Structure 1
Amino acid sequence: MDKRKLSTPTKICRYNSMCFRLNPLHFDEFRHPHLEAIIEKGISSITGEYDIPDDCQKDKVIDQLEILKSKLGNIRQPPEKMAKNSKSPDFAISKKTTNVVSIEPPKNQHQNSSSSQCVPSTSSSLQNKLDSTDYFKERAAIFKSKDSEEMKATTPTIGVKIDQNDERLEAAIRQYLPVVLPKGQMADKLKKASPYNMFLTTVSAAPETHSEALSVTFQELLDPSLGELECSVQFNFMVDIGWLLAQYIFAKCSSQPLLILYGEEEQTLRDINKKRSNVTSIKVNIPTPIGVHHTKMMLLFYKDKSMRVVVSTANLYEDDWNNRTQGLWISERLPALDEDVSYTSHGESVTKFREDLTRYLVCYNIPKLQPFIAKIRKTDFSSVNVFFVSSVPGTHRDSGKGIHFGHLRLASLLSEYSAPVDDSNPIILQASSIGSLGTSVAAYLGGEIASSFKRDSAPIGLRRVPKVKFIYPSLTNVLMSHDGIAGGGCLPYDGRTHAKQLWLNEHLYQWRASTRNRNHAMPHIKTYCRFSERGLYWFVLTSANVSRSAWGVLNKSNKTLNPSLRINSFEAGVVFFPRIILKKDRFPIHEMQQKDEDPIFKLPYDIPLVSYAKDDVPYCAEYLKDYLAKYGS
């Protein structure tokens, strides 16, 4: 892992049983009465951590210790020595993550039999890499040599006040952000990206991505050339409120109203309104225990009454915007309708994007969203050329106009707008996590999903089920990533789940993205498509991974002709159809397919796809947990 980041104040939170760093900013924490006594007592020689009395509120004490670790000079041991002496696999000061189990890598003599099925078995060459500390030191040296001086950003600590003076603010921006691009140019970049408006995030460790026309930073989303921000809404699963507020501060719009709808609980985020009156955060409650609020979307409203929609695959925290491959669709600037115009008959796109977006937002049933829904209804969406496809928790039935969510919604769109696709052309799935898919491919992936994703506008008849190809990083991909094994932090696929669906190995393909300069940037992006040697028939960019919770599962106990679809999570994405955007049957995906100077649709990965080698195994979350347990951070 990056030692620069580990030297900054950090705290641990759980994300699918994985450990991630959160770096909160700009908060004045109140002092706990036991704090000085805890620090004065020092670090326990037995546990390697501070001893916190049982009657204390441990979470608050830990948070404040993190602050003081960076601020006070009376801590007896420097952070480097604390980390060295600590027996904690994460950090010297850490929250106990009791749900994270330590599983030794396969074939290790200390591994117990009950955990041996939790991760795929590896070849001896990969196993040697997993067990070799020297290997990781070597990888770290390579990555360190790649980093240019301007990338070596340090994170502001909690309590730092960022001066709004232009000169000092610019200095803070360059210190904190690994990639800083000139302001005022995003509107022109977006114009040149037309008609697709699809971007990938810049990769900090890949300088070639910093100047790419279709690469974007978070700061560019708030660029003044796109409009003067009046207020905004952020939808996401994981939110590091300190990192997010820093982005708004750097863009000089931190005083504007901000509403955050989030999924993963975090104390600082929950209490943000007590610190910042213009920021409101709401945890989205999910009716089922296995569902999550997984949508990643932004609604940006400008002072001239226009707005913009951004659909993304990235969480709102630092790591997701550094060395990972993320995707974004950014709408054009959408103007407000005239006051005397009825929104029911004006301003809708040919794709009915506004109708689908408002239907999705209404499903939250959150009063704070109502003013924004009203603004959207009075906005002209006629320039939007993609479809909005989403998932909402619940049981959905066809009321006469089709099911509006999940894989059945995509099936309906494909049946109407996809040009006929030969059955020999596979369905391509690409995601960062995989759910429980059953004991065979026919159970879900080759059943419900293939049945929906194979649809096109050809007359209904006897059709073969196309082959399903799944792009998902192998363990080798992760070990060779910019962050080494830590690059798997965004891939929370459970090894115990994979052990129950080994048939999936026959459908797996490597992550390869050299054409987009992201071969070593692990994909947190999620995409679905079908293409042939003639071009791309359709393409989906979404937050939805390959799982029943995300796309829904049919209620097979319902024997009627109108079965219901059960969905557990909130998801959001967009669908690109060449018949809508180019008035053609296919998008060109390389120069040989270009006709009439149609712009090339750049896939986020290389084609042809590369299947797993004989000794390859899919990356599972246990590999990183085992590494942390064996070697520490």
Structure 2
Amino acid sequence: MFKRKQVPTVECQYKTNCYRKNPAHFEQFGHTHIQTIVQQGKENGEFVVPSELEFSKDIVKVQCEIVEKLFPHLMSDQPAKRVAIQTNKEEKVQAKEVPSTKTVLPETPEKVINIDESPSKLNPEAPVFTPSPKASTSSGPDSISVQLSNPQNDVVKEKEREAKRKIVRNIHEYFDVVAPKGKMAQKLEQAAPYNFFLTTITASKATHSEPLSVTFMELLDESLGELENSVHINFMVDIAWLMANYYFAGQDEKPMLVLYGDETPDLRMISSTKPNVTAMKVDMGGNPFSVHHSKISILCYKDGSSRIVISTANLYVDDWHNRTQGLWISNTLPPMAEDADTTAGESITGFRDDFIRYLTTYKLSKLQPWITRLRKTDFSSVNVFFVASVPGGHRDIPNRGPPWGHPRVGYLLSKHAAPIDDAAAIVAQSSSIGSLGPNVSSYCTAEWANSFRKDSALLGIRRTPQFKLIYPSYNNVKNSHDDLLGGGCLPYRRANNEKQPWLKQHLYQWKSKSRNRNQAMPHIKTYARWTDRGLYWFLLTSANMSKAAWGVYNKSSKIDPPLRINNYEAGVLFLPKFVIKSEKAMNYFPLDQDKNNIPKFPMPYDLPLTQYSPEDVPFVMDHLEYWVQQQGTSKKK
């Protein structure tokens, strides 16, 4: 006798507003309203959707079919009496008092973990749902004639359509934080010269009005320009969430290209429902250890100008909810004159050339129109370096040095970073930790730090700087806005941690009271060096502290060993002499109020750092999995 599949006890956080159609989602989370409808059985071969859910009737029916197939015993049980379904709107006051039940699988750039860590398995992406004010219950001439011959039915249908329009158009039903429209250009101007933002935190109201906090929809704000088309290059993409942002920004009909790493059925099928959207999975060349991990957006406007966004956030709701994420947003990049020289309009940092070189590594014809456009775009206002990683084996390029990974960082620092005291630690901060070897000198303070320690000082005997790594402790996560669920973006594994016990003495807690994000677990990744004088450089990137992200030299090759990189990664490097337009204090960014009125650098975490106590342990994904299992067990009792 086969055992019945258990209906999930952890309720989907979206309740009656859930529009997902992925069966894996319904295996993971309970949907009481759907289960109730299924238990009530069918009439004339169809599930009966109550009037409370009429606005999403078609989606609810599909969800019921999914639940019926997954849990057929719900239908075979005694049919339940038809009852009214309580909607999210009725629960809204109560729901705000309940902790978030987001369960997400973190992105997994480190492939030392098993298949159970697949983002699609623990965090199924949402289906294609694009709100549309044009929605109608009529399907053709026959339905129209029936309505005309039945005035009463016509009134009912019109009420249904009106209800649908009201719900669809209420942006607050879909987004917890909605910034005022038309203000983003001013916000970006005031963020100069760094243009470095953090995402707003739903549970931290202080961040909702911070000048250096942004929502995704603000990137589409009309004050930045009239959007013509866009490109999103990312790892995980919830196309429904992305299109909902575009819809409410009034941009959902504009051409869009999406390059992604984690595949879902909705991404594969999006072009069939939204012909203006092209989604393509990035080919990793069959390497099971490679991940397309970059987070980039290219926004193009009707006046010919463009904008580049380099981010640490995936394009789905959880990454823009209660997680600390970082974004660099370029100024408006105007088009060049048709007869302009090909070398004109380049940034002093060479950003355009480096960025286009990165885009060409995809070898995608679909990207070519944007590459062509960017070649004719003026990047002279860009004051940061583009730093990236690309899968494969790499050697130096004549007259340019290393193109990718940690050697590229070292090359730029050796040319442009002011001399730094060796007592200044190299501080890494990431949301995942790779297999770094049996001791700190296996990779961190040897190969990796050999690049990150560099500056423009003359060659000589130098001490190896101390290595520090900011990564949330178990207690950091336990006290987060979402309890242990806040660790859903931290895919470090106990098995990996046990192989590198030396790491603990280098670990520092996540503290961000100064930015109102102490309880918002970091998915941001940063690298920096500073002293009491100031910040010598700062790197914002998608790259975690791992060999897969930064690369490792192939030591089996005795002569000119290639650098082996697994992942696509992207980031920006801030160096004072390019960012600060002043003859004074060119060697470092101020970390406090500066006498020369140079804006202090907006660090995402608190200084000084707080080291792990003897009792502290790093958060590992095993903690979350055990906690979720226990929650389910306790509810069954």
Change (3 A) 1:383 1:68: farther
Report the alpha carbon displacement of residue 161 of structure 1 after superposing the two structures with TM. 3.9
- The 5 A counterparts of 1:343-362 are 344-362=342-360
Which runs of 5 or more structure 2 residues have no equivalent in the other structure?
1-9, 32-40, 48-60, 87-100, 104-112, 118-124, 135-161
CA–CA separation in structure 1 for the residues paired with 2:130 and 2:336: 42
Q: What TM-score do the two structures reach when normalised by structure 1? A: 0.78
2:542 counterpart letter in structure 1: S
Equivalent position of 1:430 in the other structure: 429
CA–CA separation in structure 1 for the residues paired with 2:569 and 2:358: 10
Q: What TM-score do the two structures reach when normalised by structure 2? A: 0.77
What's the Cα RMSD here? 3.4
Report the alpha carbon displacement of residue 39 of structure 1 after superposing the two structures with TM. 9.2
1:588 counterpart letter in structure 2: P
Report the alpha carbon displacement of residue 615 of structure 1 after superposing the two structures with TM. 0.9
CA–CA separation in structure 2 for the residues paired with 1:503 and 1:328: 32
CA–CA separation in structure 1 for the residues paired with 2:291 and 2:575: 29
Equivalent position of 1:586 in the other structure: 588
Contact 2:23/2:66, CA 8 A, preserved across alignment: no
Q: Secondary structure at the match of 1:497?
A: helix
Equivalent position of 2:116 in the other structure: 100
Change (3 A) 1:424 1:257: same
Equivalent position of 1:138 in the other structure: none
Q: Does 2:301 match 1:302?
A: yes
Q: Secondary structure at the match of 2:297?
A: strand
CA–CA separation in structure 1 for the residues paired with 2:68 and 2:245: 21
Equivalent position of 2:507 in the other structure: 508
1:607 counterpart letter in structure 2: L
CA–CA separation in structure 2 for the residues paired with 1:100 and 1:569: 20
Q: Secondary structure at the match of 2:257?
A: strand
CA–CA separation in structure 1 for the residues paired with 2:280 and 2:42: 30
Range that drifts further, 286-295 or 474-483 = 286-295
Contact 1:100/1:625, CA 8 A, preserved across alignment: no
Equivalent position of 1:376 in the other structure: 374
Equivalent position of 2:546 in the other structure: 547
Report the alpha carbon displacement of residue 574 of structure 1 after superposing the two structures with TM. 0.2
Q: Secondary structure at the match of 1:324?
A: coil
CA–CA separation in structure 2 for the residues paired with 1:552 and 1:327: 23
Change (3 A) 1:631 1:185: same
1:558 counterpart letter in structure 2: S
CA–CA separation in structure 1 for the residues paired with 2:30 and 2:439: 38
Of the three residues 176, 183, 186, the one matched with 1:185 is 183
Contact 1:198/1:330, CA 8 A, preserved across alignment: yes
Contact 1:200/1:326, CA 8 A, preserved across alignment: yes
Equivalent position of 1:468 in the other structure: 467
Equivalent position of 2:487 in the other structure: 488
Contact 1:407/1:551, CA 8 A, preserved across alignment: yes
Equivalent position of 2:619 in the other structure: 619
CA–CA separation in structure 1 for the residues paired with 2:438 and 2:215: 41
- C-alpha offsets along residues 184-214 of structure 1, whole Å, 9 cap, x if unaligned? 0000000000000000000000000000010
Change (3 A) 1:98 1:544: closer
Contact 1:394/1:566, CA 8 A, preserved across alignment: yes
Equivalent position of 2:525 in the other structure: 526
Change (3 A) 1:21 1:398: farther
- C-alpha offsets along residues 154-194 of structure 1, whole Å, 9 cap, x if unaligned? x9997674327999489521221111111000000000000
- The 5 A counterparts of 1:380-419 are 380-400=378-398, 401-419=400-418
Equivalent position of 2:91 in the other structure: none
Q: Secondary structure at the match of 2:530?
A: strand
2:541 counterpart letter in structure 1: T
CA–CA separation in structure 1 for the residues paired with 2:453 and 2:183: 40
Equivalent position of 2:213 in the other structure: 215
Contact 1:20/1:489, CA 8 A, preserved across alignment: no
Equivalent position of 2:572 in the other structure: 574
Equivalent position of 1:604 in the other structure: 604
1:163 counterpart letter in structure 2: P
Equivalent position of 1:54 in the other structure: none
Equivalent position of 1:163 in the other structure: 133
Q: Does 2:293 match 1:291?
A: no
Change (3 A) 1:156 1:389: closer
Change (3 A) 1:471 1:159: closer
Change (3 A) 1:282 1:38: farther
Equivalent position of 2:192 in the other structure: 194
- C-alpha offsets along residues 56-82 of structure 1, whole Å, 9 cap, x if unaligned? xxxx9879526999xxx99859999xx
Larger of the two Rg values belongs to structure? 2
CA–CA separation in structure 1 for the residues paired with 2:24 and 2:542: 19
CA–CA separation in structure 2 for the residues paired with 1:488 and 1:460: 43
2:609 counterpart letter in structure 1: L
Equivalent position of 2:93 in the other structure: none
Report the alpha carbon displacement of residue 270 of structure 1 after superposing the two structures with TM. 1.1
**Using CA pairs below 8 Å that are at least 6 residues apart, which structure has the higher relative contact order?**
1
| Number of residue equivalences | 528
CA–CA separation in structure 2 for the residues paired with 1:249 and 1:12: 22
- C-alpha offsets along residues 269-303 of structure 1, whole Å, 9 cap, x if unaligned? 11111111000000001122111000001000000
Report the alpha carbon displacement of residue 538 of structure 1 after superposing the two structures with TM. 0.2
- C-alpha offsets along residues 564-622 of structure 1, whole Å, 9 cap, x if unaligned? 1000010000000001111500000112xx13101110100000000011111000011
CA–CA separation in structure 2 for the residues paired with 1:625 and 1:512: 24
2:290 counterpart letter in structure 1: G
Equivalent position of 2:364 in the other structure: 366
Of the three residues 14, 17, 28, the one matched with 1:5 is 14
Of the three residues 238, 251, 261, the one matched with 1:253 is 251
CA–CA separation in structure 2 for the residues paired with 1:61 and 1:161: 17
CA–CA separation in structure 2 for the residues paired with 1:6 and 1:498: 36
CA–CA separation in structure 1 for the residues paired with 2:23 and 2:512: 30
Contact 2:127/2:239, CA 8 A, preserved across alignment: no
Change (3 A) 1:462 1:3: same
Contact 1:311/1:572, CA 8 A, preserved across alignment: yes
Report the alpha carbon displacement of residue 4 of structure 1 after superposing the two structures with TM. 3.8
Of the three residues 250, 265, 268, the one matched with 2:266 is 268
Report the alpha carbon displacement of residue 384 of structure 1 after superposing the two structures with TM. 0.2
Contact 1:293/1:570, CA 8 A, preserved across alignment: yes
Range that drifts further, 164-173 or 419-428 = 164-173
CA–CA separation in structure 2 for the residues paired with 1:606 and 1:374: 42
1:355 counterpart letter in structure 2: D
Change (3 A) 1:35 1:277: farther
CA–CA separation in structure 2 for the residues paired with 1:388 and 1:292: 19
Change (3 A) 1:404 1:489: same
Equivalent position of 2:322 in the other structure: 323
CA–CA separation in structure 2 for the residues paired with 1:256 and 1:156: 21
Change (3 A) 1:525 1:156: closer
Contact 2:11/2:29, CA 8 A, preserved across alignment: no
Report the alpha carbon displacement of residue 559 of structure 1 after superposing the two structures with TM. 1.5
CA–CA separation in structure 1 for the residues paired with 2:557 and 2:126: 55
CA–CA separation in structure 2 for the residues paired with 1:68 and 1:302: 46
Contact 1:11/1:66, CA 8 A, preserved across alignment: no
Contact 2:12/2:30, CA 8 A, preserved across alignment: no
CA–CA separation in structure 2 for the residues paired with 1:544 and 1:428: 14
Equivalent position of 2:448 in the other structure: 449
Change (3 A) 1:175 1:62: closer
Which runs of 5 or more structure 1 residues have no equivalent in the other structure?
24-33, 41-59, 81-88, 92-96, 102-154
The percent of aligned pairs where both chains have the same amino acid is 49
1:250 counterpart letter in structure 2: F
1:600 counterpart letter in structure 2: K
Contact 1:90/1:628, CA 8 A, preserved across alignment: no
CA–CA separation in structure 2 for the residues paired with 1:325 and 1:160: 27
